[in-house]
Every structure is written in structure tokens, then in C-alpha cells.
């Protein structure tokens, strides 16, 4: 299943829209206003929170974000590597071994689960905001949307 994640150009909390291949909304990403840790939630269309994403408050050399389930139980930590050259991201604490292979802001990168390709992230070029195409199994899409948002949060924090 392909979904398109597009950061809203004008959003007080840093929200995103998530559309299917027919450009119909299927999820929403809501952000918290004035959040130092860039808290965001992946929600269904009725507003029910599915995942919470937040950055680590203070980073020295390794930047981290955390993904929580709807009950605020931490599922995993997403991080980059200190002095990384390739731009890989690693996921720790999840039930499976997950790695983002390739630079997140390149044309395409793979999400590897236990060494196998689980999904693909493709950068969509826009002038004013970040946009991504995510291609993955339908049942895993909500978690993988949270993963893309977590990595985008890390990258945004490193830039700003």
C-alpha cells in the first residue's frame, strides 16, 4: 500500500496529512503547540490517537526520537549515529530489528525488518514543505507513518 505524508505548510503544531493513492485522507498527524520535544500524534480520521512521537529533549551527538503506543508505552527509540557519513537511522527496543538503509532525505531509502525490505520511503520534491511516499504492507502503515515522522523530527531538529 502506498501512502503520502505531507507536512502542512501552515500548522501551529506541525501537523501532516496522510493520503492514500487516490489522494483521500486516511490518517492525520497532529502536533502540540509550543513543544520543545516536538510531540506529534498519528491519529485515525476520528481523532483517536494511535501513536505518539517525541524527540529527546537534549541531544549531544546522537539525536533520538521515541515512539509510544496509544497507552503511552514506549515502543522504540529511533536514533542516528554519532559522526555518521551515510545517514542511516536505527531503531532500538522494538520487537524486531529495524533499520533505515540509506539517507532519509535522498530519493529513496528502505526500511529493513530483520534484514528484509519491509517498506520504502521516497522523498517527494516540494518547494515549501517536506513530503514523503511510503510503500509498505497495509497492516504496518500506521507504525511506519510514526517512524517516518520520528525521523523527520530528528532531521528537523538537527537542521534548526
User: What span, in angstroms and rounded, lies between the C-alpha atoms of 16 and 31?
Assistant: 8
Please give the pLDDT value at position 135: 97
pLDDT at residue 60 greater than cutoff 90: no
Give the model confidence (pLDDT) of 102-153 as tens digits.
765 567 889 999 999 999 999 887 766 778 999 999 999 999 999 999 988 8
Range of the domain at 69: 2-159
Give the model confidence (pLDDT) of 88-100 as tens digits.
788 999 999 998 8
pLDDT at residue 157 greater than cutoff 70: no
CATH of the domain at 72: 2.40.160.200
Could you give the percent of the chain with pLDDT greater than 70? 78
pTM of the full predicted structure? 0.87
More reliable by pLDDT, 59 or 136:
136
pLDDT at residue 75 greater than cutoff 80: yes
Please give the pLDDT value at position 50: 97
Structural domain count, the chain: 1
Amino acid at each position: 500500500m502506498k501512502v503520502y505524508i505531507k507536512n502542512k505548510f501552515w500548522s501551529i503544531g506541525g501537523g501532516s496529512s496522510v493520503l492514500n493513492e487516490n489522494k483521500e485522507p486516511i490518517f492525520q498527524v497532529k502536533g502540540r503547540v509550543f513543544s520543545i520535544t516536538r510531540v506529534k500524534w498519528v491519529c485515525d480520521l476520528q481523532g483517536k490517537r494511535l501513536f505518539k512521537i517525541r524527540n529527546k529533549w537534549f541531544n549531544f551527538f546522537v539525536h533520538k526520537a521515541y515512539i509510544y503506543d496509544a497507552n503511552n508505552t514506549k515502543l522504540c527509540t529511533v536514533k542516528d549515529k554519532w559522526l555518521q557519513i551515510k545517514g542511516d537511522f536505527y531503531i532500538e527496543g522494538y520487537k524486531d530489528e529495524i533499520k533505515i538503509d540509506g539517507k532519509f532525505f535522498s530519493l529513496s531509502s528502505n526500511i529493513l525488518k530483520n534484514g528484509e525490505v519491509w517498506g520504502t520511503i521516497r522523498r517527494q520534491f516540494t518547494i515549501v514543505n517536506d513530503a514523503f511516499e511510503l510503500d509498505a504492507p497495509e497492516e504496518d502503515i500506521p507504525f511506519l507513518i510514526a517512524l517516518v515522522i520520528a525521523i523527520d523530527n530528528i532531521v528537523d531538529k538537527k537542521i534548526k
